[in-house]
A and B are shown apart, each in its own frame.
Chain A
Amino acid sequence: MSTSADPFSSPARRLPGDLAMWFFILAELTVFAILILAFAVAQMVYAEQFDESRAALDSSIGLALTLSLLTSGLFAALAVEQVRQARSARATLLLLAALGSSCVYVVLKLNEYSHLAGLGLGMEHNTFFTLYWILTGFHFLHVLLGMVILGWLAARCRRGAYGPDNHSGLESGVLYWHMVDMVWVLLFPLVYVLR
């Protein structure tokens, strides 16, 4: 149902992508919710330790990580829009741009991991870093899987596998990538910013 007062409204309501992907996303979000809340509860118990440990993280790096993921998400969303307009070549380039932007995230994150490991702030250092490595590492694995999916989507798009009437698979893959984005926008303030 739509109303004229809602600028985002649409006459026909439709769930993009495959239903199976949405159930997968819900399952993933549930797991991340448990980890995020575990981090928050541990922060309540070890407030001083979390404040001191967080000082080892650079929030500007966290911001750069965020912007690289969000930019990648924009390119992926624009690719879907181009396929709907039967512009597969442009969509392929946009998916490759999404992949490139996600590479920035990977390089920055690996640098951060390397820096922390060099300082001896590994998983066994304290509770903050145990949860930091588990939470961000689990998310990092999702980024890597998402990059594989983006690459696969780009290859299929290049071969003309998607069109205005046949792009549910593309939507599903891109939805997974947006889920990875959404988890990060909650992780970022919790891990890098809040005190």
Chain B
Amino acid sequence: MSASKVLVACWLGLAVLSVSTVLLGNAGATLALTAAVLLTAFGKAWLITDGFMELRHAPRAWRLLLLAWPLVLVLGVLLTLL
């Protein structure tokens, strides 16, 4: 797949996850739905770091550092909602 097609595929994934975020949020306020909303947020951050920022091609330490940012935040927010 060409680099441009990968970027468009990432954008499509981001759009689908964004719509999913709203649908899940409107579906209720259970812990499972909250966790699902946060999981979609992490998925979007992953698509941005690995797709748009091209960290999938970067040294592993940088990739993990940038992926740690949404992971820590998602887990932190989830903890406050338990």
Give the B-binding residues of A (Cβ under 8 A): 1, 8-10, 12-16, 22, 26, 29, 33, 36-37, 40-41, 43-44, 59-60, 62-63, 66-67, 70-71, 73-74, 76-78, 81, 84, 175, 178, 181-182, 185-186, 188-190, 192-195
Contacts and interface: CB of A to CB of B under 8 A. Distances in A.
A192 B69 CA distance: 20
Contacts of B26: 59
B45 A78 contact: no
A181 B51 CA distance: 12
A9 B37 contact: no
Given A13-B59, A189-B40, A81 B3 contact: yes
B76 A16 contact: no
A30 to B, nearest CB: 9
B30 to A, nearest CB: 10
B3 A194 contact: no
Interface residues of B, number: 46
11 contacts: A15-B59, A36-B77, A40-B76, A43-B80, A44-B80, A77-B51, A178-B48, A178-B52, A186-B73, A189-B21, A193-B22
A33 B58 contact: no
B15 interface: yes
A185 B53 contact: no
Contacts of B40: 189
Q: Which 6 A-B pairs have the closest CB atoms?
A: A193-B25, A8-B56, A195-B29, A74-B11, A185-B44, A44-B80
A53 to B, nearest CB: 15
A171 to B, nearest CB: 8
A186 B76 CA distance: 12
Mostly, the B contact residues are: helix
A194 B34 contact: yes
Contacts of B62: 15, 22
Contacts of A40: 76-77, 80-81
Interface string B4-32: 10011011001100110110111001000
A192 to B, nearest CB: 8
A86 to B, nearest CB: 14
A1 B76 CA distance: 31
B29 to A, nearest CB: 4
Contacts of A76: 52
A84 B65 CA distance: 26
A59 B14 contact: no
B7 A15 contact: no
Contacts of B48: 73, 178, 181-182, 185
B22 A67 contact: no
